[in-house]
Structures are given as C-alpha cells and as structure tokens.
Amino acid sequence: MAGSLSASVLSIIGVGVKDQESDQQLVERVQKGDNRAFDVLVLKYQHKIISLVMRFVHDHAEAQDITQEAFIKAYRALPKFRGDSQFYTWLYRIAINTAKNHLVSRKRKIQSSGIDVEEGQYFEGADKLRDTSNPESLMQRDDLERQLKEVLKQLPDELRTALTLREFNGLSYEDIADVMDCPVGTVRSRIFRAREALEKVIDEALLDSH
C-alpha cells in the first residue's frame, strides 16, 4: 500500500486505472499481485472509513491511525476474501472491530457518535429545534446536544453501531446486517430501539420549549 495520498495518486495515474472498475475487479487485481489496485480502494473508501471511525474515536489524528491500521488488516486479509459479501461491508466490519479493539486496549469506554443538532435531521421533530435566532434557542440546542450525547453513550454497543451505519453512513439494512453479521430483522429492531431512545429525548425537549 502506498505511503501517502500523493504517492497513491501518482501510481494510479501511472498505471491508467479506470474509474469504472468495480470493487470486485480491483480486489481480484490485488489478489493477483497488483498492489496498486489496492491504492484505488484506499482512495475510494478512506474518507468514509475515517468518518465511521470518528463515531468511536473523536480525535482525528487517532482516527487516521486506526483507519490506516484497518486498511493494513484488510490488505493482509484480502487473499482470503472470496466475495461472499460486498467489499465495502467487509471493510466496514474490519474498521469497526479495529476501532473497538483500539479502545479496549487502552481501557477506554466507547464514546457516543457525537450527534449534534445538524445531524439531528434524521430524527422526527429535530428540525423544530434548529432555531438559533435567539440566546434561549441556543441554550436549548446545546442542552439537546448534551442530552443526545448522553443517551447515545448509554446505548448498548450494537444499537449505537447499527444507528451510526444507517443514519450517518447511509448503509441499507441488508448491508448493515452483513457488517454486523446478524439477520436484517435484528438490524431493524436495533435501529428502531436506538431511534426510540433518541426521539424520546427530542420529544421531551420540544415539550420543554413550549
């Protein structure tokens, strides 16, 4: 794997990689010994993986290190990848496990996904709390953010992960089931329960605002 983004870009230009190549085609090239094809996969997914890892680790530099470690693990495991799942869901699973292992190794509690009022668009009623035209509204917004972060922090890990993959990474229920290695029905249940907990906080905030 290339040591820097610029090196990756140069190597890609040098070999004339086609943008329309599918993940599976790139994986097959890597498996045949073309390491530069892996650079393409890194460029395609590195920002998404960093964003995902940032839901667990709020320090950007630390998230970059974990992302790098996740890609290294993926690269080493690619010879055994048989395409039973989509490459990106397989990669997401590696990234999530790497982030969790990193936190466990440092005896740190997994943090919340850092939802704020702008991200609150995914939850019913949150748009009513975005009015920042006066100091009182700003205080209400800050209080809501604090409450949401606290609720997310207390959610079971599987609920928080399912919600993050759905709302912030945009994965389908089927893809989340693949990432989390569980039935689609279980994913739907986990997301429902997580949303229910968050929407309860939002509903209470709306009542208080009135």
Q: List pLDDT tens digits, range 172-184.
A: 999 999 999 999 9
Which of 5-14, 22-31, 33-42, 143-152 comes out lowest in average pLDDT?
5-14
**Model pLDDT, residue 141:** 65
Q: Which of 92, 83, 85 is nearest to 26 (CA)?
A: 83
Residue written as tokens 């993959």? 165
Task: Record the tokens describing residue 164, joined without a space.
Answer: 């993050």
Rounded mean pLDDT, 14-20: 45
**Model pLDDT, residue 21:** 79
pLDDT band at residue 156, thresholds of 50, 70 and 90? Answer: confident
Residue written as tokens 């890597």? 30
Q: Which of 43, 35, 85, 31 is nearest to 67 (CA)?
A: 43
Per cent of the chain over pLDDT 90 is 38
Q: 105 or 67: whose pLDDT is higher?
A: 67
Q: 20 or 188: whose pLDDT is higher?
A: 188
Is 170 in contact with 201 (CB distance < 8 Å)? Answer: no
pLDDT band at residue 55, thresholds of 50, 70 and 90? Answer: confident
Q: What's the half-sphere exposure (Cβ side, CA atoms, 13 Å) at 118?
A: 1
